[in-house]
């Protein structure tokens, strides 16, 4: 039984950063170049003069001696000064002067000629040496700097010059799950990996296969990167981290090489974690690039796939990846044996927001008028990162006021600022939020009062993925066949969100777009595939190959008459209109209770079944579990 290796905290050599290093080398070479071009000066004063002046001095007989260099002439005068001989230095004309030597001979001047200095040829090579060195440095750095966002750049020129092959950075993390507030579900799911990484033998002995590839998905700022680091900290294993965006714009082959090295290193240090952040920037569906411009990305992606496939069940290496665009990932990445375990992080609800605030107020001086509950309540749709940013903005506002602590007013101002910046990340405006609550309450009420469909278990107005709110229904059992009653109940539930908006708010919105689409696909299947319309009967009238729940349609040539097509359309419309009428009636009937549900949903954002029941069915007297009765 082995205990996980404890990596020493500072693995990284303490070399100057690669950029400083590059400047240092470039400066050194330039200085050398300058020195080489300078001629050594003899003692005494040297004055620069024009060539014709020097020639006049020679003709006047003032010059005792000349030194001819490749491009200059130095004349030593007869005249002396206290500090030594006087020298005149002049650049010789590019055209050799044929009168110079006869003149010198005539005046009896001693002539010394200096051979051109050998190093001057080196000067011509220096720029090339610089360029080549820079190229090597760049490619080394790309191969090496796996430290990415977590460790800072390692490797680089220092490595290149010392001939050391750059290694992926092995990092350790001091974070624990306590640093990740909320996200209980996600934490629970990854904590299994912690146990595995802490003691892989225990799992291997009983032949358990623990997933190698885990994909963390969720909107930006929900703590995916944070959770990955916390996982490494909890398991106390080394951590190799990279980000998909680092692979963009690399030389072909470099990315794949880096991936290979990183997996190699992780295997050597097993148990270990590999973390690939922003997987979508390399993991997009292949073959979509124009003109093969994505060769490099594809090679990198293929290398990742190959490495994932190459794991044996015994290897204690867990590959975590994070993305906020799981929808664009290449399906090959999600196949069994690859990133087949998915952990979803969602935007925090009110309690989670409060918990996140608690994590980040540590060390911040808060005025006593600050009420965290109130802030949590006033920030629906904020991600963990937004909340952290909110506190930071508030601190900046307070500092600008030169105040000693952060007041509720600072936080209010900061909230507006962050809100402006986060419209994009689904921060919801109050009126929009009310509509959302009404819409979701409609779905919930329909599912609750119109049994036959899937039972409801949770409703939320926390945005998730592309949808704003959601009503969660739990299939009572796996359904292999769908009864007509079940399908009709589903139609009512789907259309009830819109019906609630219409009845309680007096207008409908575009929020029901997806509901209508799904209901239509479902109704069309009922009529054209499952023969559920008595008039049309059991005829296969599909005009597309579609999946009633995924709502994907692949058009097919139609094999029936226009007239039949019209009848199918009419039957579909009848089904949908019936369902809508039923939904409207149902909401009308229970209007007061639904209004209560809306209010509570707005206050608490997420309601589970007991809470839903309290609103929709207050007389039922919620029966406590038999065991808890005393
Ligand atoms: P993502 O990778 O999902 O985009 P990050 O992990 O980079 O998000 O989150 C950015 C920052 O926001 C984190 O460093 C952390 O300070 C803060 N943060 C996000 N979620 C949480 C959370 N659940 N608990 C505490 N802090 C959080
Ligand atoms: Mg991240
Ligand atoms: Zn809806």
Instruction: Assign residue 174 the CATH number of its domain.
Output: 3.40.50.300
pLDDT value at residue 515: 87
pLDDT at 162 over 50: no
Residue 473: inside a domain = yes
pLDDT value at residue 156: 39
pLDDT at 15 over 60: no
Residue-by-residue DSSP string for 164-232: PPP-PPPB-----GGGS-S-HHHHHHHHHHHHHHH-HHHHHHTTPPPPSEEEEE-STTSSHHHHHHHHH
pLDDT value at residue 547: 45
Tell me which residues are annotated as active site: 440
Please tell me whether the overall predicted TM-score, pTM, comes out greater than 0.85 for this model. Answer: no
User: In the listed set 420, 439, 456, which residue is the last one of a domain according to the structure?
Assistant: 420
Under 8 Å CB-to-CB from 276, ≥6 apart: which residues? 242, 243, 244, 282, 304, 319, 320, 321, 322
Instruction: Assign residue 78 the CATH number of its domain.
Output: 3.30.720.210
If asked whether residues 441 and 404 sit together in one domain, one would say no
pLDDT value at residue 570: 92
Which of the given ranges, 201-215, 239-253, 340-354, 463-477, has the highest pLDDT on average? 340-354
If asked whether residues 482 and 546 sit together in one domain, one would say yes
Spatial strand order of the sheet with 63-68 comes to 45-48, 84-91, 72-81, 63-68, 110-113
If asked whether residues 400 and 358 sit together in one domain, one would say yes
If asked whether residues 471 and 607 sit together in one domain, one would say yes
Pocket test for ligand 1, best of 184, 276, 384 (most atoms within 8 A of CB): 384
Q: Are 103 and 59 spatial neighbours (Cβ–Cβ below 8 Å)? A: yes
pLDDT value at residue 47: 81
pLDDT value at residue 44: 58
621 versus 282: the higher-pLDDT residue is 282
pLDDT digits (tens, 9 = 90+) for 418-476: 766 544 445 567 778 899 899 999 999 998 988 777 777 778 887 654 455 666 665 44
Residue 594: inside a domain = yes
pLDDT value at residue 420: 61
Tell me the residue range of the domain where 321 lies: 163-344
Q: Which of 275, 279, 277, 263 is nearest to 312 (CA)?
A: 263
Centroid of ligand 1 to alpha carbon of 354 (angstroms): 14
pLDDT value at residue 158: 36
Centroid of ligand 3 to alpha carbon of 441 (angstroms): 9
Q: Which of 159, 146, 132, 136 is nearest to 247 (CA)?
A: 146
pLDDT at 479 over 90: no
Match 């024009």 to its residue by tokens: 50
Q: Whose atoms come closest to the Cα of 435: which ligand?
A: 3
Residue 627: inside a domain = no
pLDDT at 236 over 50: yes
Q: Is 513 exposed, middle or buried (0-12, 13-18, 19+ CB in 10 A)?
A: exposed
111 versus 253: the higher-pLDDT residue is 111
If asked whether residues 355 and 334 sit together in one domain, one would say no
If asked whether residues 51 and 197 sit together in one domain, one would say no
pLDDT value at residue 359: 92
Cα distance between residue 456 and residue 475, in whole Å: 9
Question: Which has the minimum average pLDDT: 120-129, 371-380, 436-445, 518-527?
Answer: 120-129
387 versus 469: the higher-pLDDT residue is 387
Secondary structure letter of residue 464 according to DSSP: B
pLDDT value at residue 145: 43
If asked whether residues 568 and 605 sit together in one domain, one would say yes
Residue 118: inside a domain = no
Please give the angle made by the CA atoms of 435, 428 and 415, to the nearest 5 degrees. Answer: 140
pLDDT value at residue 20: 63
Which residues does ligand 1 sit against, CB inside 6 Å? Answer: 180-183, 218, 220-226, 322, 356, 359, 384-385, 388
pLDDT value at residue 445: 93
The arithmetic mean of pLDDT across residues 177-196, rounded, is 88
The arithmetic mean of pLDDT across residues 389-399, rounded, is 90
Q: Whose atoms come closest to the Cα of 279: which ligand?
A: 2
SS3 state at 591 = helix
If asked whether residues 397 and 475 sit together in one domain, one would say no
Residue-by-residue DSSP string for 574-587: HHHHHHHHHHHHHH
Instruction: Assign residue 472 the CATH number of its domain.
Output: 1.20.58.760
SS3 state at 369 = coil
Nearest CA to ligand 1 atom 7: 225
Q: Which H/E stretch holds residue 43?
A: none
pLDDT value at residue 531: 83
pLDDT digits (tens, 9 = 90+) for 106-151: 888 888 888 766 556 667 777 788 888 887 777 665 554 433 333 3
Residue 536: inside a domain = yes
User: In the listed set 420, 455, 472, which residue is the last one of a domain according to the structure?
Assistant: 420
Please give the angle made by the CA atoms of 54, 59 and 63, to the nearest 5 degrees. Answer: 60
If asked whether residues 442 and 506 sit together in one domain, one would say yes
Instruction: Assign residue 416 the CATH number of its domain.
Output: 1.10.8.60
Residue 568: inside a domain = yes
If asked whether residues 288 and 228 sit together in one domain, one would say yes
Q: Which of 322, 69, 110, 350 is nearest to 217 (CA)?
A: 322
pLDDT at 522 over 70: yes
pLDDT at 284 over 80: no
Given phi > 0 = left and psi -120 to 50 = alpha, else beta, which region is 61? left
If asked whether residues 332 and 439 sit together in one domain, one would say no
Handedness of CA 439, 441, 442, 446 (dihedral sign): positive
Task: Give the percent of the chain with pLDDT over 70.
Answer: 76
Pocket test for ligand 1, best of 149, 218, 221 (most atoms within 8 A of CB): 221
The number of distinct structural domains making up the chain is 4
Question: Which has the minimum average pLDDT: 39-53, 284-298, 595-609?
Answer: 284-298
- Nearest-atom index, ligand 1, CA of 229: 6
If asked whether residues 91 and 196 sit together in one domain, one would say no
Secondary structure letter of residue 85 according to DSSP: E
- Rounded alpha-carbon distances, angstroms, from residue 249 to 7, 273, 296, 297, 484: 32, 26, 8, 9, 54
Cα distance between residue 55 and residue 448, in whole Å: 110
Residue 157: inside a domain = no
pLDDT digits (tens, 9 = 90+) for 481-503: 678 888 899 999 999 999 999 99
Pocket test for ligand 1, best of 385, 391, 422 (most atoms within 8 A of CB): 385
Please give the angle made by the CA atoms of 498, 464 and 614, to the nearest 5 degrees. Answer: 60
User: In the listed set 73, 94, 113, which residue is the last one of a domain according to the structure?
Assistant: 113
Nearest CA to ligand 1 atom 27: 384
Q: Which H/E stretch holds residue 507?
A: none
Which band of pLDDT confidence, cut at 50, 70 and 90, is reported for residue 622?
very low
Q: What is the mean pLDDT of the chain?
A: 77
pLDDT value at residue 426: 54
Residue 279: inside a domain = yes
Q: Are 270 and 235 spatial neighbours (Cβ–Cβ below 8 Å)? A: no
pLDDT at 295 over 70: no
Question: Which has the minimum average pLDDT: 32-46, 69-83, 174-188, 257-271?
Answer: 32-46
pLDDT at 374 over 70: yes
Q: Whose atoms come closest to the Cα of 389: which ligand?
A: 1
**Two structure tokens written together for 337:** 């044996």
247 versus 376: the higher-pLDDT residue is 376
Centroid of ligand 2 to alpha carbon of 289 (angstroms): 25
């Amino acid at each position: 039984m082995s205990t996980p290796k404890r990596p020493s905290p500072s693995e990284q050599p303490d070399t100057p950063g690669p950029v400083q290093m590059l400047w240092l080398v470039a400066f050194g070479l330039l200085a050398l170049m300058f020195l080489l071009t300078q001629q050594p000066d003899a003692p005494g004063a040297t004055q620069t003069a024009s060539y014709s002046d020097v020639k006049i001095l020679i003709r006047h007989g003032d010059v005792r001696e000349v030194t001819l260099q490749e491009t200059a002439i130095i004349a030593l005068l007869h005249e002396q000064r206290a500090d030594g001989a006087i020298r005149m230095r002049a650049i010789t004309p590019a055209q050799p002067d044929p009168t110079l030597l006869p003149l010198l001979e005539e005046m009896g001047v001693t002539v010394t000629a200096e051979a051109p200095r050998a190093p001057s040829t080196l000067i011509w090579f220096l720029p090339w040496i610089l360029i080549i060195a820079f190229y090597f440095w760049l490619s080394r750095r790309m191969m090496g700097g796996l430290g990415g966002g977590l460790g800072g750049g390692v490797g680089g020129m220092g490595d290149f010059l010392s001939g050391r092959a750059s290694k992926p950075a092995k990092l350790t993390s001091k974070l624990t799950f306590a640093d990740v507030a909320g996200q209980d579900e996600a934490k629970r799911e990854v904590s299994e990996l912690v146990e595995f990484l802490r003691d892989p033998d225990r799992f291997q002995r009983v032949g358990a296969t623990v997933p190698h590839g885990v994909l963390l998905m969720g909107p930006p700022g929900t703590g995916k990167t944070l959770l990955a680091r916390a996982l490494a900290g909890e398991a106390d294993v080394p951590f190799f981290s990279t980000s998909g965006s680092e692979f963009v714009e690399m030389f072909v082959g470099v990315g794949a090489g880096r991936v290979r090295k990183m997996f190699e290193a992780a295997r050597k240090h097993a148990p270990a974690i590999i973390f690939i952040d922003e997987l979508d920037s390399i993991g997009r569906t292949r073959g979509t690039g124009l003109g093969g411009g994505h060769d490099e990305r594809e090679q990198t992606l293929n290398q990742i796939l190959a490495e994932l496939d190459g794991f044996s069940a015994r290897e204690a290496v867990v590959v975590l990846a994070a993305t906020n665009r799981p929808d664009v990932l290449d399906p090959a990445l999600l196949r069994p044996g690859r990133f087949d375990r998915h952990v979803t992080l969602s935007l925090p609800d009110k309690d989670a927001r409060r918990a996140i605030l608690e994590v980040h107020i540590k060390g911040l001086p808060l005025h006593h008028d600050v009420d965290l509950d109130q802030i949590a309540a006033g920030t629906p749709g904020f991600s963990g990162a937004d909340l952290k940013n909110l506190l930071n903005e508030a601190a900046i506002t307070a500092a600008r006021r030169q105040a000693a602590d952060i007041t509720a007013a600072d936080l209010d101002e900061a909230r507006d600022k962050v809100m402006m910046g986060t419209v994009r990340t689904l921060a919801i405006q109050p009126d929009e939020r009310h509509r959302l609550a009404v819409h979701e309450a409609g779905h919930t009420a329909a599912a609750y009062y119109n049994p036959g469909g899937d039972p409801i278990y949770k409703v939320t107005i926390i945005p998730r993925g592309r949808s704003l709110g959601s009503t969660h229904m739990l299939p009572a059992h796996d359904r292999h066949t769908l009864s007509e009653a079940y399908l009709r109940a589903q139609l009512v539930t789907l259309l009830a969100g819109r019906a609630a908006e219409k009845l309680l708010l007096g207008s409908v919105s575009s929020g029901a777009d997806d509901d209508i689409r799904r209901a239509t696909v479902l109704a069309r299947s009922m009529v054209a595939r499952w023969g559920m319309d008595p008039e049309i009967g059991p005829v296969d009238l599909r005009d597309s190959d579609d999946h009633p729940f995924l709502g994907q349609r692949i058009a097919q040539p139609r094999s029936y008459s226009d007239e039949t097509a019209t009848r199918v359309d009419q039957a579909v419309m009848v089904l949908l209109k019936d369902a809508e009428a039923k939904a409207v009636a149902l909401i009308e009937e229970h209007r007061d209770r639904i209004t209560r549900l809306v209010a509570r949903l707005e206050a608490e954002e997420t309601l589970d079944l007991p809470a839903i029941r309290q609103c929709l069915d207050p007389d039922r007297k919620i029966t406590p579990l038999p065991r808890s009765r005393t």
